[in-house]
Structure 1
Amino acid sequence: MQSQTERPDAVIDAPKGNWVDRYAPPRTRPWLRMSRADRPIGTWLLLLPCWWGIGLAMMADAPRWFDLWIALACAIGAFVMRGAGCTWNDITDRDIDAQVARTRSRPLPSGQVSLRGAYVWLAAQGLLGLVILLTLGKAAVWMGVASLALVAIYPFAKRFTWWPQIFLGLAFNWGVMLAYAAHMGRVDVAPVVAWLGAIAWTIFYDTIYAHQDAEDDAIIGVKSTARLFGDNSPRILAGFAILAVVVLGVATALPGRNLLIAWAGLAGFAAHLAWQLKKFEPDQGDVCLRLFRSNRDAGLILALFLAVAGLA
């Protein structure tokens, strides 16, 4: 079997041996790669706040059978809408991506997908996401509609602010309120506070990720917190890690039930962030990528304990 690095259509920074490169029919690969199906970490990071929201809702109310569908619908929706968001990002960044070593092999800048095809693919994923959203109730539908502006703005943020990671956090963590609303039929203070804490977490992990491109970004004039923080990144990221833990601690306390279980999960989450900071090397791209991907485990720890707290 031909290795990933030998394939002319391969994406440089996709995990080696990913299922798209190994098993997907050749004609589908460019579309799946545009949706980042070959790198599931983004889907996880979009999904995990949704599962946090379900846990918070169960802590505030009680578990329901419908929560199983909410969890599954969020998983499917995260995959689809993350794909749509990445497609939109590739459309808006196609000229920038062509100038960056890590991204020039993506389907659009490499010519594997046409601009018109990308728009059609974006619409198809958006429609599928809408169908799933409509099953979650009126409150969740309105929350989903409200998120569209954030999704649309994010790809442009790095052009006008040094803090594009904030815009990513605003959009990526919206699911904690959407999933809560799907269960409760409304949005309370707890998921809003959790959303704010999750934004601090996003700044933490996406700054680590952005350090891979810091040199290329400086050449082409793209802004990021990695460039803004520079050599001070470890110290500043420690502050955002603490902020995320503290604010999420407040959010888990608001439902007022099974707090010790929830905080045990938060302790595990905090320990994982501390481990990342210990291993963090800003000038080592492979280390940054590995640590970024490890945030799936950090988020799963908290999601598991919130689920137990909600079910107990």
Structure 2
Amino acid sequence: MTESQDLPGRDWLAAELADALDEEYELELEDAVVSEEIARIYKQNHPDALDRATYMHALIRLQSELIKLQDWVVHHKEKVVVIFEGRDSAGKGGVIKRISQRLNPRVVRTVALPAPSDREKSQWYFQRYVPHLPAGGEIVLFDRSWYNRAGVERVMGFAEDAQVEQFFHDVPEFERMLVRSGIRVVKYWFSITDEEQQMRFLMRIHDPMKQWKLSPMDLQSRVRWEIYTKAKEEMMARTNIPEAPWYIVEGNDKKRARLNCIDHLLGLFPYEPVPHEEITLPERIFNPDYERAVLPPELYVPRKY
């Protein structure tokens, strides 16, 4: 029995809630080691940011609804794809973490593919994404997707004009095929301003815990801001189909963007409570002759904390 289970029922539940809040707080410690000057400027540019208590209350309520959505997807063998696109540092990863944070990883999984290998480059463009599509009772969150071709590949010169044009010709029919097969396709674009992206890049540069997020490709995307904007606008115009429309999330305020996106996602599904078998904890089999073995102390992790 753990220490928390020794507590009276109400105290134990309070401890579990506090642990959940601590988990979210760890995710929120994004600016802890950023220089004071940059932190001051950032706060200056976000004067109406949600206070932590309001944000956490709304987030936990939405996450409880996500659990209901997950149960509905499993019960009805639904197949769901959610695509998250946007500029670097727009907040895609943050909302994906909050969506999946309290869900079953066997039901809800995130796909973030690396750059294609030489072999994959020779394949049908959509081929490397197809194995990651959901089976019945699964939700797949794409942290970037096949829309790389219309965005970063096009802007950075990794795709020829003919390949981009072929993509625009193929992708609407590809997504219609997915929908006809029973897959629900949801597409989000996280939109931030030029100034906000610059601020977030500066914060990453000055934060040792987030510098890994900055690649040479990310830095080049700053140089090509206007080219990226034009590419995004054409992508939206040519791939916004009734079967799989785009939804734009205003992302300058991270917390509001997360809440708005999750709330909108929930509203797209006619989920409802599903029947559950009542769970009861079985009695432990007790053997009076059993003695727990004493293991060598070197097997234990040192208790430094």
TM surpasses 0.5: no
Normalized per residue, the structure richer in helix is 1
Normalising by structure 1, we get a TM-score of 0.28
Structure with greater Cα Rg: 2
Higher RCO (C-alpha under 8 Å, 6+ residues apart): 2
